[in-house]
Amino acid sequence: MKLEIEIFRIISAFGIVWFHSNVEAGREIAYGGLIFFIVVSAYFATISTRFHSLFERVERLLIPCFLWAIFYGVINLVTKGYVFPDKYILLSIFLATPSIHLWFLPFIFFSLIAIDKFRQLVFKEWGATLIGISAILSISLAPIWLEFDYIPPLGQYAHAIPAVLIGVFFGIIDKAKVKMLLITGIILSVLIMVFKQQSGIGIPYLVGLIPCYFFFFNSHVINNKGSLLLKISSATLGVYLIHIFVLMVLRKLGIVGFSLPLFAFILSLLAIIFLKTFVPKKIVKYVA
C-alpha cells in the first residue's frame, strides 16, 4: 500500500470525526475525508485482481454494521427513549440504522458489489467513457438533486455516488482514450461547485480529490509492514464506527470546541488499537 494513502486515511478519519463533532470551523473541509475514503475504496475495488466473494463483503461490512446498529440502538433507547426516529420508514431502519453515520457501510457494500458485478463492462472503452461522463454530470447537476427531499439515508447516498463514479474512473483511466478530456471535465465541474459555494459538494469534493492524483500515480510504496503508521491506518474503520459514541461521552463530560474532535479521535483510535491488540482477530474483525 502506498505510504501517502495510509497517511491520508488517518487524516481523513480525523476529518470525519471533526465533521461529526459539529465544530463549525472547517466542516466542509473535514467532509472531504469521507469523499477520499469513498474514492479510494472504489478505486481499489476496480483495480483489484483478487476475487472477493459476497460473503467476504458481508463479513467485512454488513456484520459490523449490524452489530454496531444494535449497540447504538441500545444507546438511543437508554438516552432518548427510542431506537429509531419517528420519521424513519422501513428503508431507513435498514440502511440508516439507529445511528445515521452507519449509512456508509451498506452504501459501500452495495457499491463494491456493483463494481465486482460489472467489472468487465466498465473496463471496455465505452464503459470508461460512460463512467467519466456520469461523474461529470452527477457533480454538475448537484444544485438540482440537492433540492430533493430525501428519505434517510438516501441524501447521503446521493452525495456519495459521484465519488464512487470518480473512483471507478480513476481505476480504468488507462483504458479511456478520452481520459484527459474527462479528467478536465471532472475537475471543472468540481471547481464550478466550489465557485457556486455548493455546500456538501464543492469544497468536500475538491479536498477529497486533490490528493488522489499524487496517490494513484506515483511509485512510492511502504515496505515496513509492521510500522506504527499501518497499525493506525488499519484502525480507521473502527474509529469511524466508534467515534459517535466517544463524542457523546465527551459531550457529557463537558468537552467542547476544538478539543472535542481532537480528544474524540485520539480516544477512538486508542480504543480500536486496544481491541485489535488484545481481542482475537476472529472476533475483533466484526467490530473494528
Query: What pLDDT does residue 205 have?
Result: 97
> From CA 149, how far away is CA 136, in angstroms rounded?
23
Residue 120 · residue 169 · CB < 8 Å? no
- Higher-pLDDT residue of 6 and 261 is 261
Could you report the per-residue pLDDT of 105-150, keeping only the tens digit for each?
A: 999 999 999 999 887 777 777 788 899 999 999 999 999 999 999 9
> From CA 174, how far away is CA 216, in angstroms rounded?
12
What are the Cα distances from residue 189, in Å, to 33, 135, 158, 270?
Answer: 19, 9, 16, 39
Please enumerate in sequence order all residues whose Cβ is within 8 A of that of 229, keeping only pairs 6 or more positions apart, or say none: 3, 6, 7, 10, 222
Report the b/e string of 54-89 with b at 16+ CB within 10 A: eeebeebbeebbbebbebbbebbeeeeeebbeeebe
Residue 17 · residue 268 · CB < 8 Å? yes
Query: What pLDDT does residue 57 have?
Result: 94
- Residue percentage of the chain with pLDDT more than 70: 93
Q: How confident is the model at residue 221 (pLDDT cuts 50, 70, 90)?
A: very low
Query: What pLDDT does residue 115 have?
Result: 93
In whole numbers, what is the pLDDT of the chain averaged over residues? Answer: 90
Radius of gyration of the chain (CA): 19
> From CA 55, how far away is CA 117, in angstroms rounded?
14
What are the Cα distances from residue 218, in Å, to 2, 184, 203, 214?
Answer: 9, 20, 25, 6
Could you report the per-residue pLDDT of 15-51, keeping only the tens digit for each?
A: 999 999 999 999 999 999 999 999 999 999 998 888 8
Name the pTM for this structure. Answer: 0.92
Could you report the per-residue pLDDT of 153-180, keeping only the tens digit for each?
A: 999 999 999 999 999 998 887 655 667 8
Q: How confident is the model at residue 222 (pLDDT cuts 50, 70, 90)?
A: very low
